[in-house]
Chains A and B, each alone.
Chain A
Amino acid sequence: MIDNIWLVPLLPLLGFLINGIFGRKLGKNLVSWIGCGSVGLSFLISVKVFFELLSLPAEQRIFEKIVFPWIYSGFFKVNISFLLDPLSGVMLLVVTGVGFLIHVYSVGYMYEDNGFSRFFSFLNLFIFSMLMLVLANNFLLLYLGWEAVGLCSYLLIGFWYEKKSASDAAKKAFIVNRIGDFGFALGVMLIFWTFGGLNYTEVFQQAPSILVAGGGLVTAITLLLFMGAVGKSAQIPLYVWLPDAMEGPTPVSALIHAATMVTAGVYMMARCHILYELAPFTLGLVAVIGAVTAIYTASIAMVQNDIKRVLAYSTISQLGYMFLGCGVGAFAAGIFHLMTHAFFKALLFLGAGSVMHALSGELNMQKMGGLKGKIPVTFWTVFAAVLAISGIPLFSGFFSKDEILWKAFSQGNLLLWLIGVICAGMTAFYMFRLLFLTFFGKSRVDESIKSHIHESPKIMTVPLMILAILSVLGGYVGIPKSLGGGNNFEHFLSSVFGEKEMIIHHSAFTEYIVMIISIGVALAGIFFAYRFYISKPELPKSLAEKYNFPYRVLLNKYYVDEFYFKIIVNPLLKFATFLWQFIDIRIIDGTANGLAGMVNWFGGIGRKIQTGYVRNYALGMVLGVILVLAYFILK
């Protein structure tokens, strides 16, 4: 089966083609079978492949498959070919597994929508693109997948394109992503220029010998690639598109804007860890940007009232964690957090979707409350996810987050660690705030909706339950040594990242202390949330009035959108108008029109030769004959 790895991306592609072309005629049942079935099948194949990979000895767990030659132009040779190693294996399982669950959930969630078949074809296209991104064994194919997931994201954010806000959000996402991708493309070109090839193996093998560690070239390459990652994974300063992307259907938010696509940046950096390790400056920047993004967006998340926006900012914050992990060199920990985050964040979004389903599309948490007993399955599953993301011991998020924090701490980055810990407290606070506002307390639901609050159908709740189980247990693959585990996950990835002998400055005791601190902070966050939203619900309001300015700043997301608009978009528009009015119309158009006019004039003259009389045609031909013969005689 490992030889047939190409089946994994092919099946969703087929699903996309069938649903995309014939979708309207197939009926919703068939569409959902094809849509879910294709991804489900490729999940099964991925599992099989993964176990085949596991059965190999650790050093042989790398497998390349050339499907067919793609572009051969001189020395520029690129294949459509796949690379399977522990890293892409993990990503494969996450993408197809979580993807499959979200597909199934969508059957229930989107059933009433007119664009049902369109939705599924786009979703399948997304899975295909993401798989290409993950499985690629060269930078060009990676780039193809990279752009294609961006396209899918655009299509799906703007799925309800009749809504202006949705199409605006789609455009924003696409344009902001393009800014990052511009850097990414330059990075790929620079790699080609440096190494004369784009295959991972050739690039990574040559990298240590060609590039000077810490030199300008490798720093430039990694920075450019990082620029792409910043755009795709929504980090400062290009994070602004992700909150707006919540205009798309909720399963899309869960799949693309939480579990998979936005993590592409993390995956890419982990994949290129050899380059990044040669560029300490870039790594430092990655860590700082990750940490700052994490705490910055966590602070925004604390006051938002829109349930999906809270989750969106939380996603950015968690991605910041992953960047922090990569930045301190703990790539395995970053990927570990990527995986657990995929489980619980997908679950949170799907749970939010289920809440919206129950409340006829209500998003404002101030108009919820007391739903605990009315939609129990949603409540318990979301509860599990909240515990996981808040870093409560024994839940998956605890292990992965702690791994990152510990790596930051043990490398001596105390400031970054501190930021991470504070951020963990904030995370616990806003997640429990979400939980309390939504499910506890008195119901603030509109009277008109109140009467028909209902639990979602099985097809939606079953994926929730499976994801809840994964959120709880997902962390057990990577229990750290200090807690008696074997850190199997990191060990498994070690054939990709190399077994790094971490210099142990600190004893296990220190690790316990660090762990306890972060648990304590998380509990404090929960305590505040409890106090604010359960025991003294009037407190937030008085606080908000008392500290009106900071509150407004947070509520308005630090006014960054407004700032961008004033500083970047407006001047750009003015500059563009100038370019258009003066440079373009006067100078360029003038020249071009002049040239075009000249060309046209010649054409007009030439046209007169074409008289329509055979005798003239024959004359033209005879002239040609004479010239040709004359040439040969006079030569």
Chain B
Amino acid sequence: MDLSLMDINWRVILPEITLAVFGFVLLLLEAFLPKDKKRITGHIAWIGIVLSFLFCLNLYGTQLSSFKGMALSDNFAIFFSFLFLISSFFVILQSLSFLKREEQVRGDYYALILFATLGMILMASTLDLVVIFLGLEIVSISLYILSGFRKKDLKSNEASLKFFLMGAFATGFLVYGIALIYGSLGTTNLEKIFILIPLTETTLPGKDFLLYAGIGLLIVGFGFKIASVPFHMWMPDVFEGAPAPIAAFISAGPKSAGFAALLRIFLLAFSSFKPDWILIFWILSVLSMTTGNLLALWQTNLKRLLAYSSIAHVGYILIAFVAGGNSAISGVLFYLSIYILMNLGAFAIIISMGSKDREGTDLFKEYAGAGLKNPFLGVFMAIFMLSLSGFPPTAGFLAKFYIFSSAVKSGYLGLVIIAVINSMISVYYYLRVIVYMFMKPAEEDIKPVSIPFSLGLVILVTGIGILAFGILPQPLLDLAYNSIF
């Protein structure tokens, strides 16, 4: 083999390399640092994220490709890399004080976050199913471990094990799907698939079923990763048991990474099959939002509530797949950006409200009256909840608006009506959080919680971001629009 044919451009994977190097450094630091010095690992981790972010920034607009399309830096990839890095950055900030409170300051925790981020970036910045799978597994395995990070907590163990078992199960379907697609088309490159598919209709009639089965299994595999109904069941249990920053992390980065891959696969590679798979997405979308919202009504645990809310939001985002077209894709990008901000902010508040002995309960009643005692948390929680339920002038409203309007434009009025009804149902449980925080009397005498700087920063930045993008969405919208593949 001639190396000059190998098409290598290191610059394209510099962000990934940075993350990997920092991850290994953290792993070794965990092994060798004395316990009282481990506090620096968190800071090293966010520095790594920032550095990687700078490399990404440098790549924006370059449209480079390397390793024969296995790694590329189109704007779509970079946009998602930004999302992942920003969300990981916030998660690390959340973890700084969380781990300190748990007395579990450890380097490998941060190393795993960096590895997961690396996996997500791989998923978004490739045109190859195999690399997507590789990235997905890096993300998943890191997350399995992270969810069980509270080793002494039974619920955390349960979360980890359930996540792992179900995840492995789903991965099986995914790989099988990829294998079937490769079997019928002879390639795993998405662009080549896109070119080949029109040919299969005429020249390869016998393989249709294998191809369709492959597509179906891909939907199942990714359906699990983004937690759409009926592949969602792991999510509430994992959210409840996993450490709060990790739950936040799962809802932000990996979910977006799943959508990045789904967008590329279905709106690029299999776009000409759209009439075939559109009904499935329609059903998944309706099932997800309806189930998510209905079950959220019953929750008494805030983290579980956010898990169901997350499932419901997946339903809203899936609308864009049905709608299709550039405005829908940019709508997804916008939605995910805003969703990450809202969720990370809400989780930062949950972390602030928790304490070591009470970790893992997060029941509604613990929040009674908390908004009056902690006006900062209360006001921002109100902002996040309003945004999640889609009230103007928060960005959550615009995010929904763009996706819904793209669906209306494509003629899927029925789907939008269902989504709007669902949004109305969701208002009930989001507002319940606010009601609890401000209008219910506290059960016992609660003291105002002290908010560590890093957590306060996350809350402030995400909250202001939501309001800012709610009022001035244009810069982000432009960025999203320029980042369509």
The answer to whether B291 touches A606 (Cβ under 8 A) is: yes
- Which residues of B465-485 have CB atoms within 8 Å of chain A's CB atoms? 472-475, 477
Per-position contact with A for B233-262: 1 when CB-CB < 8 Å, else 0? Answer: 110110000000000000000000000000
Could you tell me if B280 and A631 are in contact, using CB atoms closer than 8 angstroms? yes
Given known contacts A599-B294, A617-B166, A618-B166, A625 and B425 CB-to-CB distance under 8 angstroms: no
How many whole Å from B259's CB to the nearest CB in chain A?
18
Q: Are B294 and A602 in contact (CB under 8 A)?
A: yes
A628 & B165 in contact (Cβ 8 Å cutoff)? no
Cβ–Cβ contact B474 & A621, under 8 A:
no
Asked, given contacts A603-B295, A606-B295, whether A71 binds B220 with beta carbons under 8 Å apart, the answer is no
Q: How far is the CA of A72 from the CA of B294 in the complex (A)?
A: 34
Establish whether residues B298 and A621, one from each chain, have CB atoms under 8 Å apart when the complex forms.
no
Instruction: Assess whether A567 is interfacial by the CB under 8 Å rule.
Output: no
Interface membership of A560, Cβ < 8 A: no
List A613-635 residues whose CB lies under 8 Å from chain B: 614, 616-618, 620-621, 623-625, 628-629, 631-633, 635
- Interface readout for B201-235 with A: 1 if CB under 8 Å, 0 if not? 00000000100110111011001100000110110
Please give me the residue from chain B that is nearest to A596 by CB atom: B428
Which chain B residues border A549 with CB–CB below 8 Å?
Answer: none
Q: Given A617-B166, A632-B209, A632-B212, A599 and B474 touching (CB < 8 A)? A: no
* Residue in A602, A623, A624 whose Cβ sees the most chain B Cβ within 10 Å: A624
CB distance from B392 to the nearest CB of A (A): 12
Q: Does B170 contact A (CB under 8 A)?
A: yes
Which residues of chain A are near B475, meaning CB under 8 Å?
A: 68
CB neighbors of A among B436-485 (8 A)? 472-475, 477
Please tell me if B175 contacts chain A, counting CB pairs below 8 Å: no
Q: Is B234 in contact with A628, judged by CB distance below 8 angstroms?
A: no
Q: A620-B233, A621-B231 are in contact. Are A603 and B216 (CB under 8 A)?
A: no
B365 interfacial contact with A, CB 8 Å: no
* A621 with B425, Cβ < 8 A, contacts A603-B298, A631-B279, A632-B213 known: no
Of residues 583 to 623 in A, which have CB atoms within 8 Å of B's CB atoms? 596, 599-600, 602-604, 606-607, 610, 612, 614, 616-618, 620-621, 623
On whether the beta carbons of A629 and B216 are closer than 8 Å, the reply is yes
**Chain B residues within 8 Å of A620, by CB:** 230-231, 233
Taking a contact as CB atoms under 8 Å apart, the answer to whether A635 and B233 are in contact is no
Q: Judging by beta carbons under 8 Å apart, are A612 and B166 in contact?
A: no
Q: Are B209 and A617 in contact (CB under 8 A)?
A: no
**A603, B213: Cβ atoms under 8 Å?**
no
- C-alpha gap A614/B234 in the complex (Å): 8
Say whether B298 contacts A607, CB under 8 Å. yes
Instruction: With CB as the reference atom, state the residue of chain B lying closest to A623.
Output: B230
* A621 with B276, Cβ < 8 A, contacts A628-B219, A628-B220 known: no
Contact pick for A71, options B162, B294, B474, CB 8 Å = B474
Tell me whether B10 is interfacial, beta carbon within 8 Å.
no
Flag if B295 contacts A621 (CB, 8 Å).
no
Which partner residue on chain B sits nearest A78 by CB separation? B474
- Residues from chain B with a CB closer than 8 A to the CB of A610 are 233, 236, 295
Q: Are B217 and A621 in contact (CB under 8 A)?
A: no
* Contact flag A607-B216 (CB < 8 Å), given A614-B166, A617-B233: no
**Bound form: Cα–Cα A621–B234 in Å:** 10
Is the CB–CB distance between B170 and A621 below 8 Å?
A: yes
In the complex, the answer to whether A633 meets B280 with C-beta atoms within 8 Å is: no
In the complex, whether A69 has a CB less than 8 A from a CB of chain B is: yes
Interface centre among A70, A616, A621 (most CB of B within 10 A): A621
| A69–B477 CA distance with the chains assembled, in angstroms | 11
- Are A621 and B428 within 8 A (Cβ)? no
B230 & A70 in contact (Cβ 8 Å cutoff): no
**C-alpha spacing A599/B291, complex, angstroms:** 11
Q: Which residue of B lies closest to A609 (CB)?
A: B233
Whether B134 sits at the interface, judged by CB under 8 Å, is no
**Does the CB pair A624–B297 fall under 8 Å?**
no
CB distance from B158 to the nearest CB of A (A): 9
Q: Are B294 and A606 in contact (CB under 8 A)?
A: yes
Are the C-beta atoms of A625 and B279 separated by less than 8 Å?
Answer: no
The listed residue (B162, B165, B231, B474) touching A72 by CB distance below 8 A is B474
Decide yes or no whether B173 CB sits under 8 A from chain A: yes
Cα-based distance from A603 to B290 in the complex (angstroms):
9
Least CB distance, B429 to chain A, in whole angstroms: 10
Q: In the assembled complex, which residues on chain A have CB atoms less than 8 Å from the CB atom of B161?
A: 614
Interface residues contributed by chain A, number (CB under 8 Å) = 30
| Alpha-carbon separation in the docked complex, A548 to B180 (Å) | 100
Among the interface residues A596, A617, A628, A631, which one has the most CB atoms of the partner chain B within 10 A?
A628
Question: How far is A439 from B401 in the complex, measured between Cα atoms in Å?
Answer: 63
Residues from 159 to 195 in B contacting A, C-beta threshold 8 Å: 161-162, 165-166, 169-170, 173
Residues of B within 8 A of A633 (CB): 209, 212
Find residues 16-30 in chain B having any chain A CB closer than 8 Å to their own CB.
Answer: none
- Pick from A607, A617, A624: contact of B220, CB under 8 Å: A624
Q: A598 CB to closest chain B CB, in angstroms?
A: 10
A635 lies within 8 A of B276 (CB): yes
Question: Is A625 a contact of B234 with CB atoms below 8 Å?
Answer: no
C-alpha spacing A618/B230, complex, angstroms: 10
- One of A68, A603, A621 near B294 (C-beta < 8 A): A603
- Closest residue of chain B to A612 (Cβ to Cβ) is B237
Q: Known: A599-B425, A628-B219. Is A607-B280 also a contact (CB below 8 A)? A: no
Closest B residue to A631 by CB, please name it: B280
Identify the closest chain B residue to A632 (Cβ).
B212
Q: Is A617 a contact partner of B162 (Cβ separation < 8 A)?
A: yes
Please judge, given known A-B contacts A599-B425, A606-B295, A632-B215, whether A621 and B472 are in contact too, CB under 8 Å: no
Q: Which residues of A contact B230 (CB under 8 A)?
A: 620-621, 623-624
| A22 → B minimal CB distance (Å) | 14
Chain A residues near B170: list those with CB within 8 A: 621
Give Cα distance in the complex from A635 to B276, angstroms: 8
Q: Residue B298 contacts which of A604, A632, A635 (CB distance < 8 angstroms)?
A: A604
Say whether A617 contacts B295, CB under 8 Å: no
Residue of A nearest to B475 (CB): A68
B169 surroundings in chain A (CB, below 8 A): 618, 621
Query: How many angstroms from the CA of A606 to the CA of B161 in the assembled complex?
Result: 24
Taking CB atoms, residues of chain B closer than 8 Å to A632 are 209, 212-213, 215-216, 276
* Known interface pairs A614-B162, A620-B233, A621-B231; A628-B216 also in contact (CB < 8 Å): yes
CA A625 to CA B294, docked complex, whole Å:
23
Q: Which residues of B contact A614 (CB under 8 A)?
A: 161-162, 165-166
Report the Cα distance A71→B477, complex, angstroms.
Answer: 10
- Cβ contacts under 8 Å, A617 to chain B: 162, 166, 233-234
Chain A residues, Cβ within 8 Å of B236: 610
A68–B233 Cα distance when bound, in Å, is 45
CB distance from A13 to the nearest CB of B (A): 13
* Closest residue of A by beta carbon distance from B299: A607
Interface string of A58-71 (1 = CB under 8 A from B): 00000000001111
Q: A612 vs B298: C-alpha distance in the bound complex, in angstroms?
A: 15
Q: Specify the chain B residue showing the minimal Cβ separation from A599.
A: B425
Given the contacts A72-B474, A603-B297, A621 and B209 also touching, CB distance less than 8 Å: no
CA–CA, A31 and B298, complex, Å = 49
Please name the residue on chain B nearest to A71 by beta carbon: B474
B474 x A629 contact (CB < 8 A): no
Question: Complex: how many Å from CA A400 to CA B398?
Answer: 48
A621's partner among B233, B296, B473, B477 (CB-CB below 8 A) is: B233
Q: Name the one of B173, B215, B295, B296 contacting A625, with C-beta atoms under 8 angstroms.
A: B173
Q: List 19 A-B contacts (CB under 8 A).
A: A68-B472, A68-B475, A72-B474, A72-B477, A599-B294, A600-B298, A604-B298, A607-B295, A616-B233, A617-B162, A617-B233, A618-B165, A618-B166, A620-B231, A621-B170, A624-B223, A629-B217, A631-B280, A632-B212
- Pairs A-B, 9 closest by C-beta atoms: A603-B294, A617-B233, A632-B212, A624-B230, A628-B216, A603-B297, A69-B474, A620-B230, A632-B216
Q: A72-B477, A617-B166 are in contact. List 5 more A-B contacts (CB 8 A).
A: A606-B294, A614-B166, A621-B220, A624-B223, A628-B220
List chain A positions with a Cβ less than 8 A from chain B.
Answer: 68-72, 596, 599-600, 602-604, 606-607, 610, 612, 614, 616-618, 620-621, 623-625, 628-629, 631-633, 635
